[in-house]
Amino acid sequence: MSSNNVLSQLTFTKRVAKRAQYEALEFSLETRGVLVRNTSHANPADHEYLVIVRDRIPIACECPAGARYDGACKHRVGVAIRTPLLQAATNHSLVADGGT
């Protein structure tokens, strides 16, 4: 599945897409998903959220926007547009769940 197919499965605004591309997002793999830290802020630790990835789709984010608004937040889109990261998160999830 290409990253374009992933994006077609998410609903998001043009504003969210732009922010996912230009904001200084840093990513790290965690057992439960991808931790996204926005270093565009003065205190990045206050802007760090977990994105849950299932079957190569960023399905949820623990950020306030994820709970408040319909559609994918910039953190989910940020993971989706970075194909190597999305693949690594999928592989990491399989290993963490006891897969091969």
What are the C-alpha distances in Å from 90 to residues 6, 81, 84? 13, 14, 10
Task: Categorise residue 61: left if φ over 0, alpha if ψ from -120 to 50, beta otherwise.
Answer: beta
Three-class DSSP category at 53: strand
Q: pTM score, two decimals?
A: 0.86
Q: Where are the domains of the chain?
A: 3-96
Joined together, the tokens standing for residue 48 give 């760090």
pLDDT tens string 65-83? 988 988 999 999 999 999 8
Joined together, the tokens standing for residue 100 give 């091969």
pLDDT tens string 18-69? 999 999 999 999 988 999 999 999 999 999 999 999 988 999 999 999 889 8
Joined together, the tokens standing for residue 43 give 């205190």
